[in-house]
Structures are given as C-alpha cells and as structure tokens.
C-alpha cells in the first residue's frame, strides 16, 4: 500500500521515533535562525552524493563560562576538508567560522554542548559535477552526553572488529571529514550494535588497526602509551590533545602501527574523539582487554583530559576559546 504523507508528516525509519534534536538557534548561511527555519531543498547536492564536510567540537563549562575546545584546529580541518572536496567559492574564512560558532554557542546560552559546523554543496544542479553549485554553511549546537553511554565509560566499551574495512587512501579522502565517508562508519556501527556491541573497530585494507567508527585508538603496554599511527585514519584533534597531555604528565608516547592481535594482548586499549572524549575499552572480539574492565590508565587519562577541557589545567588554557 502506498502511503501519501499529508503536509507536515515525515516518514520515520522506525515507528518508535527518537525525540529529536533541540538545537535552538542555528547559524544558517550568514545569520541565526530558529531550528524550524534552518531547512534545505530535497535537491541539495550533498543529500544525493554525500558532498558535505563537517566538524564535531565540544564546549565545556569552566570558571570563566563556556569554553570551546581547540576551535582553531577544528576550523582549520573544516577548511582542509572543504578544499579536499573541491569546494572553491563561498567557503567562510577561518575568522567567519570562528565568529559563527561563537555566536551560535552564545545565542543558545549553552555552557556544555556539542557543536556541528557543516559545509555542503547546494541544490542548483544535480549530477556528479557540483562545481557550479553554491557552498552553504551552518552551525548547530545541542546537548550531547557520553557518546557511547555511561556504562561504556564506567565498565569499558565492548568492541567488535567490523566486517567493513576503512577505505584505502586512493578510494576515499580519508583525511577529509566528509559526509560520504561516514556511510562506512554508519554501516560499521550499525553492524556492531546489531550484534550487541557498543562500537566497531575498523581495520585498514592491509589488516592493520585503523580506528573506531568515530574514534581514534590508543594502546597501553608496560606503562607506554601507543597512539595508532594515522595511515587512513582521521587526524584526530583529541588524539593530538591526549598525546600532549600524557607527555605533560611524564608519560612515554610512541606512535605505532598495530595488528588486531596486538590489541588483544595490550594492558589497556582506549579510544578518543571529540564526542567520545576518552572512553576505556573492556573487550574486543569477545576477549577481555587487560582485566576486562575500564583500565586505570584510561581512567587517569580521561580525568586529565576532562581537567584540560574544563580549564582546570592551566598549562593548556591556550586550547580554550572562552565564550564571554
């Protein structure tokens, strides 16, 4: 039976629809508008071909009000992603991105939030040549608690190696945070969740550990911290932060490639990302990692990281953009 929706109806993928995002005021092509007004055409190029680029940023409450974590680095990566996708005219400058993001956080009077800037090819023409299309820009903010749930942080997340691989560097632009790339992450996460796990671990084309569906991976062994090398992974800003925070606390850090069996035998494995922050891993492929619980190093690292983002570690105040 064909169901024709009446005006205002929206088809949901699932009958138990989620409650929806409370984004309040959204920066939409140069001005702040209420969420209901920040809408686009169904002919938007990015909807058909995944030709969007985005960032995921967090703001945290500090003694001096809300602070956005490593905003210039996120803006720089957004510009890099836009360049990789061949977006030429209409890309906001770093200063414009900065102002739009600060204005959106301010307008919503948020202290703790997730921030999602997005650039995408508009609806002027379809087909695989978006060169003449407009580039549009929005910034939305909303409250976002622990990425994989409180249990994942408390007990350690349970991962499974995905049957999906990370795309090789000559198949997809692995350093761009592009919408289309995330079909890979969605499929991997979907599979992991369907099997009862918290998150997917993806390998690269050669079988080396790449990253989580939305996080970078670290190994701990004999007190040394091993970030998994970049290869086809997103060049994570949290990964960089964690390396530098660990070094400031005197931890030895050595970047490495790793096979999945090296994760099984690590003392600890944890993952990091703007959304995931620092999340311990208790289990991979039904094998306990270390003691099979959130490990002491990961929990210490998480505490150090949360000190930095909340402005409690003065050595890293440069990383905070205060929203006065």
Active site residues: 177
- Considering only the stretches 41-49, 131-139, 274-282, 300-308, report the one whose residues sit in contact with ligand PPE under the rule CB under 6 A: 274-282
Q: How far is the CB of 285 from ligand PPE (least distance, A)?
A: 19
Q: How far is the CB of 282 from ligand PPE (least distance, A)?
A: 20
**Residues in 149-178 that interact with ligand PPE by CB under 6 A:** none
| Binder of ligand PPE out of 85, 160, 192, 275 (CB under 6 A) | 275
| Binder of ligand PPE out of 51, 79, 162, 216 (CB under 6 A) | 216
215 binds ligand PPE (CB under 6 A): yes
- Please tell me the distance from the alpha carbon of residue 319 to that of residue 73, in angstroms, as a whole number: 9
Residues 6+ apart with CB under 8 A from 189: 199, 200, 213, 214
DSSP string, 119-170: EEE-SS--SS-GGGS-EEEEEEEE----TT-HHHHHH-EEEEE-SSPPPPTT
**Residues in 217-246 that interact with ligand PPE by CB under 6 A:** 233-234, 236-239
| Binder of ligand PPE out of 198, 204, 211, 283 (CB under 6 A) | 211
The encoded tokens of residue 242 equal: 């964690």
Binding mask 191-210 for ligand PPE (x = CB under 6 A): --------------------
**Residues in 26-45 that interact with ligand PPE by CB under 6 A:** none
321 binds ligand PPE (CB under 6 A): no
CB nearer to ligand PPE: give 44 or 185: 185
Helix (H, G, I), strand (E, B) or coil at 178: strand
**How many other C-beta atoms lie within 10 A of the C-beta of residue 121?**
28
**Residues in 81-140 that interact with ligand PPE by CB under 6 A:** none
Q: How far is the CB of 148 from ligand PPE (least distance, A)?
A: 10
Residues 6+ apart with CB under 8 A from 170: none
Residue with tokens 């922050």: 277
Burial 214-237 (b: 16+ CB within 10 A, else e): bbbbbbbbeeebbbbebbbbbebb
CB nearer to ligand PPE: give 133 or 233: 233
279 binds ligand PPE (CB under 6 A): no
* Four-CA torsion 178, 183, 187, 188, nearest 10 degrees: -20
The encoded tokens of residue 264 equal: 């099984």
Nearest residue to ligand PPE by CB is 56
| Binder of ligand PPE out of 56, 117, 156, 290 (CB under 6 A) | 56
CB nearer to ligand PPE: give 240 or 313: 240
Q: How many residues bind ligand PPE (CB under 6 A)?
A: 16
- What are the helix (H) ranges across the chain? 45-49, 71-84, 94-107, 150-155, 182-194, 237-248, 260-264, 296-309
CB-based burial label for 9 (10 Å; 0-12, 13-18, 19+) = exposed
Residues in contact with ligand PPE by CB under 6 A are 56, 185, 211, 214-216, 233-234, 236-239, 273-276
């Amino acid at each position: 039976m064909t169901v024709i929706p009446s005006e205002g109806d929206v088809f949901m993928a699932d009958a138990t629809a989620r409650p929806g995002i409370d984004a309040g005021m959204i920066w939409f092509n140069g001005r702040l508008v209420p969420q209901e007004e920040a809408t686009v055409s169904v002919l938007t190029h990015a909807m058909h071909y995944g030709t969007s680029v985005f960032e995921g940023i967090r703001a945290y409450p500090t003694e001096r009000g809300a602070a956005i974590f490593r905003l210039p680095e996120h803006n720089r990566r957004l510009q890099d992603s836009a360049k990789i996708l061949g977006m030429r005219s209409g890309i906001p400058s770093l200063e414009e991105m900065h102002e739009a993001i600060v204005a959106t956080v301010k307008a919503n009077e948020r202290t703790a939030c997730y921030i999602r800037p997005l650039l995408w090819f508009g609806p002027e023409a379809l087909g695989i040549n978006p060169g003449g299309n407009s580039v549009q820009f929005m910034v939305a903010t909303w409250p976002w608690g622990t990425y994989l749930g409180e249990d994942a942080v408390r007990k350690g997340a349970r991962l499974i190696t995905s049957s999906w691989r990370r795309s090789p560097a000559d198949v997809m632009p692995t350093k761009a945070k592009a919408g289309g790339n995330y079909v890979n992450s969605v499929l991997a996460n979907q599979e992991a969740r369907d099997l009862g796990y918290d998150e997917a671990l993806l390998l690269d084309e050669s079988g080396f550990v790449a990253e989580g569906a939305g996080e970078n991976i670290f190994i701990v062994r004999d007190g040394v911290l091993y970030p998994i090398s970049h290869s086809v992974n997103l060049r994570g800003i949290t990964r960089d932060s964690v390396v530098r925070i660990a070094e400031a606390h005197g931890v030895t850090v050595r970047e490495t490639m790793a096979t999945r069996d090296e994760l099984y035998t690590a003392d600890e494995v944890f993952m990091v990302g703007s959304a995931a922050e620092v999340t311990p891993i208790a289990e991979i492929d039904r094998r306990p990692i270390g003691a099979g619980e959130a490990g002491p190093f990961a929990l210490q690292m998480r505490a150090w990281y949360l000190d930095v983002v909340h402005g409690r570690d003065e050595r890293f105040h440069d990383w905070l953009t205060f929203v006065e």
